Amino acid sequence: ARAFGTLFHLNDRQGELFFYMHQQMLARYNTERLAHDLDPVVPLSDLTAPIAEGYDPGPALKQFDGFRERLPGRTLASEDAAQLDTWRSAIQTATQDGQFLGPTGPVAITRTNIGENVEGTVARLRPQMDREIYRGLHNFGHNFISSRSEPDDEGQSFGVMASTRTAIRDPVFWRWHKEIDELNYQWQQTQD
């Protein structure tokens, strides 16, 4: 436990910086879209709707990393969409109530723990939070979207959204992060 705590810990203001980084990336992306006469990115808020944008990682990423394409119009698996919606609703409820639920009682929302709970930092590093309610909407969303890619020769579906190194290549990355940013915005609206 001591070694784990030494090697793995939350950085100072980790959750706050998680939201800030994504907010700044979205601002830059929307500025570039505006410069090309494109509308701002639309959040991926309806988790049951087909994702219009597809993505093909190209031959190099397919060969060397095993990524597969995600065809246009794919939907999240119904159980994945339901789980993400449950976790998103839990964050929205906490925002409305001004507190998270923890194993020993309520925990006041701060500008950093909201980001930690949405991101899904390691549950062991957030023992004051209910691990089942705040599993990590953001991180699981990446994985669930990745799983909608075409299967490889072994039947595994692995898209670029599963890797921090490549996720930004997929257009749905921006839609997913706009949805995540909306949660931060909803919380910010409750602040003075």
Q: Which of 171, 118, 169, 158 is nearest to 140 (CA)?
A: 118
- List, in sequence order, the alpha helices (H) in the chain: 2-7, 14-35, 58-65, 78-97, 113-119, 137-146, 171-188
Q: How many residues does the chain have?
A: 192
Which one is catalytic: 69, 116, 119, 179? 119
Q: Name the helix (H) or strand (E) containing 99.
A: strand 99-102
Q: Does residue 119 carry a catalytic annotation?
A: yes
Q: How deeply is 64 buried, as exposed, middle or buried, from its count of CB atoms within 10 A (0-12, 13-18, 19+)?
A: exposed
Count CA atoms closer than 13 A to 42's CA, side-chain side.
8
Q: Annotated catalytic sites, by residue?
A: 119
